[in-house]
Structure 1
């Protein structure tokens, strides 16, 4: 029983560490995207898309939202 408790504690710590890392990655992406997109014109979607790719941004959902 102690083995299973130890395994569960380790898994919980790993999951918590990954969640914190993902939060910092999102913050870094936003900073990079803002810096890159300063030179983009207001309605230039290609420029914003290039910045998103450059900064390693999240992919939009590929399924229909109906």
Structure 2
């Protein structure tokens, strides 16, 4: 169990759009995100490529 008691809680605190602005650190970098559809397409493409390479390897032996 965890009990927390908040005292002097300010329900009228000023909240502006600036409160929610994210400013990344200077040494950070953006990580590219892909949609589920893009991930599935890549997965299918990778599988097809791997399968094709395996077939080529077997046929050249």
Higher RCO by CA contacts (8 Å cutoff, separation 6 or greater): 1
Query: Fold conserved (TM > 0.5)?
Result: no
- TM-score normalized by the length of structure 2: 0.44
Higher helix fraction (1 or 2): 1
- TM-score normalized by the length of structure 1: 0.40
